[in-house]
Structure 1
């Protein structure tokens, strides 16, 4: 809908709006000499006929008012003007239609709204109600007069109480004389006040029969709890078990000694054979020939060997059930908390909990000096006091280490098995035997690895071994090895950091390798299965860990590859647990990268992604699936790398190194899907052209890839590089280090890396149908480079790449199945033509459907749609009207309420002022 306005130009269009209005009124005869006001009295007395009657003048004025105001009309401008065509709704008067609709709604909808929730009809026949000439005060006065007249006629003239009852005071329709002065006066007690007199059970229990006694008093002869009794039983069983183990070990040693000494006395035990009688010579001789003594001895030795193997062979121990992920997390968290408590006690100079337990158990495991007597009271589990040598102790011996390890194993077994200590003696002996063998093997491992033990302060994941090392094994190493004074001991528990600054505060004073240990311990402490709020904590920690990964890659030198790999493993595992959070974090990082690159393109010469961005891009390829057709993280990352390879300018060796790393990432991204990435191959071609000597290509560069200006400064001056014994492979650290001007060694490494990438892409796109078109330009560039004299390694590599390109391109030309586009050889086939079907009295507004029923259904659908739109429009207008009326009523009620409140406040203020005036007069009198 468009609004048409009359021309209102100051010149050449009728002047101003006021002048045009005057002209229009004069032309209509409303004003001017022809008007009624301009005629003389003589003409008016004569009764001369007027040109403009009253009714005609009103019509003309309304017509002029409507035509003169262009905003009263709305005209819909059609795109094309067609002669003889009439369309409905092209022009209208919205204000007039709105006014008419408002009046109709006041007559219908407003009446229904006011009569809502009213039942029946009431005819108001009160005096003066339908008389608009009377005011409300006059109506009330007249009604009161008529009521009094009617009551005076109906009552008796001798009833003295009649007037008093009629004139009695009322309140809310009830007579005040009928009210009792003491009702609801607040003189009685309420239910709440009666309830306050009662005492609760607590007061009764403390002050009546059970009170006046101190609670919680300790009794010296109290009974032991079940937990204390069970602890004593477990301690006794451990002691008896250790005694049985020691006794069995002594028996085994004695048996082994006897077996070793048996060979020495075997000759004494043998009996000399008696000579047979002459009559028995033949029989004995035959028996000796059949069963020689040597064979018997060999059979016995084999039997003894088999028995010995069976005795020393270890039985397979019963395995425990597989623990759940939650149980493993809880166990790891408890171990870390236990280790942290031990570390703090050592820092304060106190014995750790494990040392106290082990010392108490060592005392209980000592052998008794005398043999057990018949009058012993089965209290031989108590430790006997022994005097230390010169009050310095005997030190830590190998036997003490063995006992401590045995105790630790027994504690683990008893924690897992509970209180099942009533097994048979034979099973206990066998288990003790196996445990003794495993413990001995552990001791041997410790003694063998003593020379390679870590320096004190490093964490090997074994708290027991750390304790032993602190006691004596590693102490010698700790003194001799150089220790950094700045490095502090790694705690075992941390607060989960929410920002990278907090994480750096935790890592302050630690090496880069220690960040992996701290990360692992934080993940163990705040595992998702341990507490309800750990998921939110790990969500924030994942972002912190990603920031730290980029921070380590950009700040630590030389680049800690192992640290980055371990941190990347933690990022991968957390991303698998929280995939949506990881996707949001990396998407935000990609947006920031894109914004930074756009700013660099405008203001700086080098706009390539820095080391932090390259590290994050590689992490994205390792965490998310890069083979999907569309991925919310991998696809934007690939597009970002392609944009950098295609738009970033090459101005230094660092730019070339970063570009080669991006081509490596795109290759890793497309290893599975093998999608064609033209930006990578274009960059490799640009890199070879930029690094080649200036006179290699001249003005003509093969291919259609863009070659920006300023790349000639990167050309290699000395391609043979005789002073370079071997070309060093390109490293990731070199993409962040400024190279010296004219550094041909680095440029040769870049050429080598570019050719290596060519080999990878040749294998990747070997099955691409467009292999010929893609690598034909690359072959021309490599062939041009092969004409130069290079370093021996580069010559070999260039010849290899050139040979492979030539072979694959030749194969493609011979075996390709597609044919190029060409002009058609046959005669063109004409398009089939049909005579148009003409309709008499054709109208664009009609639908000419041959199916009558379908046409009728379409007609009904269009009518229904039209009526539905009209009904919805009317309903919206009705709702707007109802809302306006309700707002008016609400405003009116508010005004009446405010007026009533103001009246009441005026009365109260008057009474208050009168009361104060009386008080002042009283004060004056006194």
Structure 2
């Protein structure tokens, strides 16, 4: 029978016998280090893992169902690396330190001689031993503290009363009387010491005072502390004593100027201490307060208008007081919203002077300090005018007569009701004040006479009396143009602005929600009124200009409605333009109303936006006017140049390129040559739009113009198309000036365009041709030459920055090869990716996957461990329950057996 060979499984099982393996213990465990021939000890690792779970996971499982957990806070118990012996050593050390601490607290030295300073010169045996006693309640805490602090007592010989009669080296118990006497002596000693220190301090203070008094008399200190006025007084008094024929000391004192020291002192006196202010009010609260103020003023105006008994009493009081009611309070600041009718009855009584006198007195201090006669203008309330000299007496008398005439003629017969006026009246009053002040300055310097001042004052007073005093304070917002016109008719420009302001205040959108609808309707009506004003003859340009500010402010309050109004009007204007172009011979250029509306919208809406609902169609409409409307008269030339300037203003910030404006300006320059356009120049210019323009010499200057003045474009537009002014050389020169200015603006804002030379070099050649052939004034030639230089310099820069055309430099792409790639010395498992970031990311993903698998494995093992523990507890509980059940059944069986056998009960026993 042949021998059978052992199988591979048997050989493997024989070689993997754990009892035959030889293990060497490491002295140090190094993480991640692998040794040659080292194998994993699976059984040991498994047992260590089970032991670790028993110490951690099992304990947590046992404590999970308990409400109270015991924590061992003994020394060393929290550190699992410490052995038991080290824990015991640490506990003994801590106990020993605590014991030493408790002993040192009550460890008092028995030998008092060791703590006494041996360097003291007096005897050491006489040291008091009663310093540790607590002082009695009869003495203060300070004295008791001084008695107890023995280290602060200067133990010099003879300073502290020592014990007399006690022999050295004896320690006899003192009686209460001796202790009290010793305390009294020490208290007297410390009181005497305090008195001595107090005397020394007083002596030192007296010495410092005397030294400072001596220092203050020195020349250096006097120059720092004494003002220039004191020096002037000394100098003046000495001068008066030496020269009896000179001026008096009072005159010199009045003529000198206040120095910096006096000004600083006055400013410090007048400075008010900072006080906490109220919180910042919301816009709604401010609007409500303004409305209430206007309502209150309206009620007062209605009462005064009805002429009640109160007003009559006030008139009687006004007649008695005279000019006193017409004076303005110069010390009280006037706010921006003051209506000029706030009069206080609690004002202090003043001198009976006119209103102009107070202004002269207030302003004369600033104007006439350096002028002759200024001493009389700066009069104080104490009556310094009574002491003026005879040299200025004539001038003063003339001034007083003049002021009396002014006050008697202009303000003497006016009551308080005559000065009830609005903010507009205040503006006129302030202008009158400034005129009066200017005339007062001239009078002081001797340049005007009294008659001129009276005439000018009478004219200003007559102008202020023309205004109506019945301007209401509370005004409802009109809902149509007819109501608005009836409300504003008969009022001046400033009063119209005040009416609009009061309408906005009383119907502010911050007061109520329904006011927004009112203000939207009022905005549309006011915009319509603005447009209607441009159609009237003569045009009230001042009123139109003053309406711009409230329209801009109201557009900010209702921006959406303002944009809708503007877009609808732009659509209507564009439709009318398309209809007018179809009619031959009719001027298609915009009217004055359209131009003013376009200018208004350019101020209201931002033109710098890339795309805007109002600004973008407005700019397109202006460019369409310039491109499609033919020039038929000089008025069309003026309107076109004005539109070009508006396009320049609209594109100044955004730097948008509008070729229509540049081409129109170029066509105007062509018309200035009078048809003498050369073939070379015609090839250079861009004439793609010139067929729409009639090539008549609208701007050809026939005669020499010596001076050119900018034309008022608004007045020119209002003229008729056949006015002789449009054929004059002055008009042509002024239009050429505006064209040159617009071209300079376009050159500046478009200097960054890459196509700058192609756009502006033909215009530069055209302007050079105009300068050579036309007789232009010097100013116009200078501006044209400046524009030509700007175009030339910028074109040279653009040409220098351009690169010549070249073939595109492209790197040749190699033919894609499909040969397989091999790595020399290839090792399996290594990453040969040339991209390091990608290789690192791949490595991290691999490690993450490995860690994830390890964590899942550990969680599974934890679940197995916990399930085994739970199974053991369940088996244990089943065994305990079975044991209890068996004991109970055995007890019951025994009882049943005893009952049946007759061992229980009173029945007779069974026979045997």
TM-score range, shorter chain: 0.3 to 0.5
TM-score under structure 2 length normalisation:
0.45
TM-score under structure 1 length normalisation:
0.45
